[in-house]
Amino acid sequence: MFDILVTGGAGYIGSHTCVALLEAGFSVVIADDLSNSKFEAVSRIRSITGNKVTFYPYDITDEIELERIFTRHAIRCVVHFAGKKAVGESVEMPLEYYRTNLLSTISLSRVMKRHGVKNIVFSSSATVYGNSKKVPYSEKSPTGNCTNPYAWTKWMNEQILSDVVRSDPDWSVVILRYFNPVGAHTSGKIGEDPLGLPNNLFPYLTQVAVGKLEQLPIYGSDYPTKDGTGIRDYIHVMDLAEGHVSAVRKCLRDFGVQIYNLGSGKGHSVFEVIHAFEEATARKIPYVICPRREGDVSASYASTKKAAEELHWKSRRTLADMCTDAWRWQESNPQGYC
Ligand code: NAD
Ligand code: WQD
């Protein structure tokens, strides 16, 4: 029996992916320093799946800590989520972002190499497509031209891992470019629990609905879109989690670098999201139109053809499912994990 190491497995996407991996029969070890998550998420992964999950509260930029994990467990593949992810914060503290997001991948890959583990699935982001205007984005769309340090760290990590494969073709690297992950597990036990004021649309929306925040700011209503608000490709986090199960299988089977978009392939405007949320939850969402947010593009959505053909994976859940599940999580955990 072998283990999958999930770095950042206590976080939002990591916790849902651990559930999907455990339900698919994989054995999971988590390394997460809890810098942006709570141990309670790990307890809830255990309670949803009834499985044993080994947890290490380690900083994965530290090779000595990583060594302990690779010595104790027969790791066959790493799913690497750990890192910092707030765009605005990355502009204010670029060095912290470059340090954590690059050093984590470098330390991890060095320890993996020492232990002969050459399979890794990496969390990248649609943000690597930068301000490129032509949608839908396919994996061949130009990348770079990034607009903030966070995005550059994703772009640089893709480069680092591609160079590792170039140096040793026995490596298997699967790079996943997520679009906009939202929603929660249907149990309502795990979900997105941002620290402080949410940066993203869905957690802001659910916190307005639960009465923690007064009204939703809509950043721009003068985009060249059907109703003037920004268009994004929202993907249910459990669809995304299941995409990782397919990616792990692919990673274990193949060699080289494979890159896939994980999105729904559909674009929804901010107004469409608000209306879908109001319908799914029977709550009215007060909002205020604000100026555009710096760095935002008018529309971003994925071409999902490559993932469908090669990973045999497609998102299944609807925008209504995303709203219902996000709301169930928020309503049953108004203060998050506490
Ligand atoms: P998250 O912050 O909820 O999860 C990241 C986890 O990594 C956290 O639990 C945090 O405690 C942990 N972590 C951070 N630094 C660490 C370190 N040095 N050592 C060990 N653990 C560390 O974020 P998420 O939304 O679940 O995102 C997961 C990954 O997916 C990130 O790499 C993020 O950049 C990427 N991504 C996220 C989105 C999104 O919209 N959520 C979109 C595209 C890509
Ligand atoms: C969605 C839409 C906003 C909040 C970000 C990162 C990206 C990726 C995912 C990690 C936009 C509008 C938002 C609000 C609003 N993360 N909005 N009011 O900007 O597409 O992507 O998260 O890789 O890198 O940039 O997501 O949820 O912030 O915004 O009107 O309070 O909602 O302008 O049109 P975004 P988002």
Judged against a pLDDT cut of 90, whether residue 133 lies above it is answered with no
Res. 338 pLDDT band, cuts 50 70 90: confident
User: What's the pLDDT tens digit per position in 183-228?
Assistant: 999 999 999 999 999 999 999 999 999 999 999 999 999 999 999 9
Nearest CA to ligand 1 atom 33: 85
Q: How far is the CA of 81 from the centre of ligand 1 (A)?
A: 5
Residues assigned a catalytic role: 150
The pTM assigned to this predicted structure is 0.98
CA atoms within 13 A on the CB side of 288: 7
Res. 52 pLDDT band, cuts 50 70 90: confident
Res. 157 pLDDT band, cuts 50 70 90: very high
Of residues 1, 30, 2, the one with CA closest to residue 14: 30
Of residues 217, 233, 322, 315, the one with CA closest to residue 269: 233
Of 285 and 295, the one with more pLDDT = 285
pLDDT at 90: 97
Judged against a pLDDT cut of 90, whether residue 146 lies above it is answered with yes
pLDDT at 42: 98
pLDDT at 323: 98
pLDDT at 213: 96
Long-range contacts of 309-316 (CB under 8 A, 24+ apart): 310/250, 310/258, 310/260, 311/243, 311/246, 311/247, 311/250, 311/260, 312/246, 313/242, 313/243, 313/246, 313/247, 315/235, 315/236, 315/239, 315/240, 315/243, 315/262, 315/263, 315/264, 315/265, 316/236, 316/239
Q: How far is CA 249 from the centre of its chain?
A: 18
Of residues 81, 28, 91, the one with CA closest to residue 262: 81
Nearest CA to ligand 1 atom 22: 82
Among 177, 192, 232, 269, residue to substitute to test ligand 2 (most atoms within 8 Å of Cβ): 232
264 and 239 in contact (C-beta within 8 Å)? yes
Judged against a pLDDT cut of 90, whether residue 131 lies above it is answered with no
Residues 6 or more apart in contact with residue 246 via CB below 8 angstroms: 307, 311, 312, 313
- Residue 54's identity, in one-letter code, is T
Q: Which atom of ligand 1 is nearest to the CA of 124?
A: 44
| Ligand nearest to the Cα of 232, by number | 2
Q: How far is the CA of 322 from the centre of ligand 2 (A)?
A: 16
Residues 6 or more apart in contact with residue 100 via CB below 8 angstroms: 61, 83, 84
Res. 132 pLDDT band, cuts 50 70 90: confident
Strand order in the sheet with 268-269: 268-269, 231-232, 299-300
**Average pLDDT of the residues of the chain:** 97
Q: Which atom of ligand 1 is nearest to the CA of 100?
A: 18
User: What's the pLDDT tens digit per position in 235-294?
Assistant: 999 999 999 999 999 999 999 999 999 999 999 999 999 999 999 999 999 999 999 999
Q: Which atom of ligand 2 is nearest to the CA of 127?
A: 24
Q: How far is the CA of 188 from the centre of ligand 1 (A)?
A: 20
Average pLDDT over residues 48-63: 96
Q: How many CB atoms within 10 Å of residue 184?
A: 29
Structure tokens at 30: 């988590």
Among 5, 6, 12, 30, residue to substitute to test ligand 1 (most atoms within 8 Å of Cβ): 12
pLDDT at 93: 98
Average pLDDT over residues 3-28: 98
| Ligand nearest to the Cα of 241, by number | 1
What is Dmax (Cα atoms) for the chain? 56
Structure tokens at 303: 């071409």
